[in-house]
Structure 1
Amino acid sequence: MPEAEVEAKKNGSSRKKKKDALGWMEWLRGWLYVIYEMLFQRILASHLQNPLPLPPVNDLTCIVTGSTSGIGREIARQLAESGAHVVMAVRNTKAAQELIQKWQEEWSGRGLPLNVEVMELDLLSLDSVARFAEAWNARLGPLHVLINNAGIFSIGEPQRFSKDGYEEHMQVNHLAPALLSVLLLPSLIRGSPSRIVNLNSVMHYVGFVDTEDMNVVSGKRKYTSLFGYSSSKLAQVMFSSVLQKRLPAEAGINVLCVSPGIVHTNVARDLSRVVQAAYHLIPYFIFSPQEGSRSTLFSATDPQIPEYCELLKADDWPVCAFISQECRPTNASEEAHNIETSYKVWEKTLEMTGLPSYAVERFLEGDEVKCRYGAQQV
């Protein structure tokens, strides 16, 4: 058992009272950070070009989830136009194929045809996630960058559950990407040095995860879409932090989370008409999807990212690398530094996704691992 985990358990056993929510000071600081980013993100990112120039990526194979709209579409298109082999992992494969045809037509005459393909992936089905990983790993080829971009924020909607029985925000934003990341480790090892880039959100600063009630059904707290979204994003940071620690330096795989900023995406479709009107009245403060894609593209391609991730690991920093919307290292929320909760999130996530506790270690050793979803043998 890693020393950090042992220490976390010791610290946890010494606590007299279980934390049931963010303290009011943590909550206030979190919201102040969210408001600050919304008001000043464009000024803070004024040094960035749009679109963001990318280094040579001709040798990279990249999987991008949720790449038919918004930030994901920009990420996939820009990587492809820069020479990468891009796999659009999406639920609507027809829409993706139509996009590729459009991109190829627009790109015609500017160079070699774009190297883009489509594979079906539905994050609301853990079986779909496992089948996708099985199909990709079966190719026995390398994967250099996994970009977990797909996510949902059902603003104002009632609580809904996937067919797997999990609250939809938690499954789409955390559980499914976590399962995909672990199951694709064999391909990421073949592509080493490789990266897992998780598109996170500044809203994780106001999130709180109760590992005994990740579905928010106990009645201890009232469910809101905001709570569902923010807690799922915090869970993603916590899980990513432990995964980064579990991966030895020699594996050559780095895990990081990024904030795209406050971006004008399809989330606006879920807003009321009044709020939508206000949303469109402040374009100066809101990033376009192309601007929102910059931090992820930077995290996926910048040559200094592995060195930074390894530096944090060497310093025993409790949180994985977190890159801000202005493409600079920043600090995750106070609650994200809670090591005890992070390891509980890790254990609970593996349990919920049907993976054994030793999954990562077995994959690193080149062994097969049984998963409750998909074809059972991965």
Structure 2
Amino acid sequence: MGKTTSSSGGKQGLGWMEWLRGWLYVIYEMLFQRISASHLQNPLPLPPLHDLTCIITGSTSGIGLQIARQLAEAGAHVVMAVRNSKAANDLIQKWQSEWSGKGLPLNIEVMELDLLSLDSVARFCEAWNARSAPLHVLINNAGIFSIGEPQKFSKDGYEEHMQVNHLAPALLSILLLPSLIRGSPSRIVNVNSVMHYIGFVDTEDMNVVSGKRKYTSLVGYSSSKLAQVQFSSVLHKRLPAEAGVSVVCVSPGVVQTNVARDLPRIVQAAYHLIPYFIFTPQEGSRSALFAATDPQIPEYCEMLKADEWPVSAFISQDCNPTNPSEEAHNIETSYRVWEKTLELIGLPLDSVERLIEGEEVKCRYGGQAEE
């Protein structure tokens, strides 16, 4: 694989037709998501989940807050994996007092996790795995979209969107495999975005610094979301049926957040004209809750695996399976993204296979390497 080939055999970016199709998809989703999801109740009714343990990243605001609260109210043991422990503990106090008298106290705890530090991710996984407790659902919900901001890098040296939205959740998913296998049948649910349709990943320029593409926060965000789908597709293939771990990406839909400033004018205009079309965080949490709890998800994932479908399961905002972007179907690129990601997060290429066998895997981050 020489330097001449960019991410997809010489491809430097999306073709204009793909780009246009991607934008049409984003706009269509925004305009019609409420209609396509009109059959769903809000909040989404959940079955009793007393035997489930769920880790949710970024659960102090937005969609993550809704996911954490609703899973806890359905009886799950919820672990809020967050940067701001105080905010999480304040929320828990509030939820407990609102819940009191309706049943047993909510089973929620807080663990510190900073996705802008891969050391923090590795230490979190070490602490969780040390409990030897089963993990049934990992929800990689935390994400950033620094609209209109200049390019920023984490202290690990990676572009911040790529690290928070893709690299850190990838490291979390792989290092928590021993606990997920213990909790099998278990699930990894990645809260993705319809914006991955306009994303493009160049594995030789994950930080978007080579000058081949101009960096904007939109490029940073959409590329990181596509990378997550591509990585999930390979992880889904690498996990044998007997491991019992399903990998699912979900689109929450277009949710009320301040994402308009960096979007094309026509989309900005749509944003301001139609608050009616945009989901509340509670509505946006439904696809992730569905992917985390619906009993048919594992069979659906197994069916895709048996059919050798090129991408992992993708659930849209209306809780129906949908197809990720054309670029996400490029198997060769997905494998390149997989290999590059493992290299960047400091894991050997055969990590998944070794963890399934019950072996230990050394990660470059988290301090184990120095011991």
Under a length normalisation based on structure 2, what TM-score does the superposition of the two structures give? 0.95
Give the structure 1 partner of residue 16 of structure 2.
24
Give the structure 2 partner of residue 302 of structure 1.
294
- SS for the counterpart of 2:249 is strand
Return the alpha-carbon distance in structure 2 between the equivalents of residues 230 and 343 of structure 1.
Answer: 19
For residues 136-183 of structure 1, give each alpha carbon's deviation from its aligned partner in whole angstroms, at most 9, with x where no partner exists.
000000000000000000010000000000000000000000000000
1:223 corresponds to which letter in structure 2?
A: Y
Give the structure 1 partner of residue 282 of structure 2.
290
Q: What RMSD, in angstroms, separates the aligned Cα atoms of the two structures?
A: 2.1
Give the structure 2 partner of residue 109 of structure 1.
101
* CA distance 1:211–1:17, shift in 2 (3 Å): closer
Return the alpha-carbon distance in structure 1 between the equivalents of residues 21 and 214 of structure 2.
Answer: 22
> Deviation of residue 280 (structure 1)?
5.8
Return the alpha-carbon distance in structure 2 between the equivalents of residues 53 and 135 of structure 1.
Answer: 32
Superposed, 1:127-166 pairs within 5 Å as: 127-166=119-158
Return the alpha-carbon distance in structure 2 between the equivalents of residues 371 and 263 of structure 1.
Answer: 35
Return the alpha-carbon distance in structure 2 between the equivalents of residues 276 and 376 of structure 1.
Answer: 47
Return the alpha-carbon distance in structure 1 between the equivalents of residues 206 and 9 of structure 2.
Answer: 19
Once superposed, which parts of structure 1, at least 4 consecutive aligned residues long, lie more than 6 Å away? 268-271, 275-278
Give the structure 2 partner of residue 224 of structure 1.
216
Find out whether 1:73 has 2:65 as its counterpart. yes
For residues 206-228 of structure 1, give each alpha carbon's deviation from its aligned partner in whole angstroms, at most 9, with x where no partner exists.
00000000000101110000000
Return the alpha-carbon distance in structure 2 between the equivalents of residues 204 and 270 of structure 1.
Answer: 15
Give the structure 1 partner of residue 204 of structure 2.
212
Return the alpha-carbon distance in structure 2 between the equivalents of residues 43 and 58 of structure 1.
Answer: 33
1:45 corresponds to which letter in structure 2?
A: A
Structure 2 unpaired stretches of 5+? none
> Deviation of residue 283 (structure 1)?
2.0
2:89 corresponds to which letter in structure 1?
A: Q
Give the structure 2 partner of residue 355 of structure 1.
347
Superposed, 1:84-103 pairs within 5 Å as: 84-103=76-95
Find out whether 1:337 has 2:320 as its counterpart. no
State which drifts further: 276-285 or 241-250.
276-285
For residues 64-121 of structure 1, give each alpha carbon's deviation from its aligned partner in whole angstroms, at most 9, with x where no partner exists.
0000000000000000000000000000000000000000000010000000000000
* CA distance 1:256–1:168, shift in 2 (3 Å): same
Give the structure 1 partner of residue 357 of structure 2.
365
> Deviation of residue 17 (structure 1)?
5.1
Instruction: State which of 225, 246, 250 in structure 1 corresponds to 2:242.
Output: 250
Return the alpha-carbon distance in structure 1 between the equivalents of residues 288 and 301 of structure 2.
Answer: 15
- SS for the counterpart of 1:329 is coil
Return the alpha-carbon distance in structure 1 between the equivalents of residues 90 and 273 of structure 2.
Answer: 31
Give the structure 2 partner of residue 184 of structure 1.
176
CA contact (8 A) 1:71 1:265 kept: no
Return the alpha-carbon distance in structure 1 between the equivalents of residues 174 and 8 of structure 2.
Answer: 34
2:172 corresponds to which letter in structure 1?
A: L
* CA distance 1:130–1:105, shift in 2 (3 Å): same
CA contact (8 A) 2:33 2:317 kept: yes
Return the alpha-carbon distance in structure 2 between the equivalents of residues 16 and 168 of structure 1.
Answer: 23
Structure 1 unpaired stretches of 5+? 1-8
1:114 corresponds to which letter in structure 2?
A: L
* CA distance 1:17–1:148, shift in 2 (3 Å): closer
- SS for the counterpart of 1:142 is coil
Instruction: State which of 41, 45, 56 in structure 2 corresponds to 1:53.
Output: 45
Return the alpha-carbon distance in structure 1 between the equivalents of residues 269 and 11 of structure 2.
Answer: 39
CA contact (8 A) 1:104 1:114 kept: yes
Find out whether 1:314 has 2:306 as its counterpart. yes
* CA distance 1:169–1:293, shift in 2 (3 Å): same
- SS for the counterpart of 1:50 is coil
> Deviation of residue 24 (structure 1)?
1.1
CA contact (8 A) 2:233 2:310 kept: yes
> Deviation of residue 55 (structure 1)?
1.6
- SS for the counterpart of 1:88 is strand
1:370 corresponds to which letter in structure 2?
A: K
Return the alpha-carbon distance in structure 2 between the equivalents of residues 220 and 247 of structure 1.
Answer: 35
CA contact (8 A) 2:8 2:333 kept: no
CA contact (8 A) 1:90 1:120 kept: yes
Instruction: State which of 252, 255, 264 in structure 2 corresponds to 1:263.
Output: 255
> Deviation of residue 282 (structure 1)?
2.2
Identity %: 84
* CA distance 1:268–1:31, shift in 2 (3 Å): closer
Return the alpha-carbon distance in structure 1 between the equivalents of residues 170 and 147 of structure 2.
Answer: 23
> Deviation of residue 270 (structure 1)?
9.2
Give the structure 2 partner of residue 5 of structure 1.
none
Give the structure 2 partner of residue 6 of structure 1.
none
CA contact (8 A) 1:145 1:300 kept: yes
* CA distance 1:225–1:269, shift in 2 (3 Å): closer
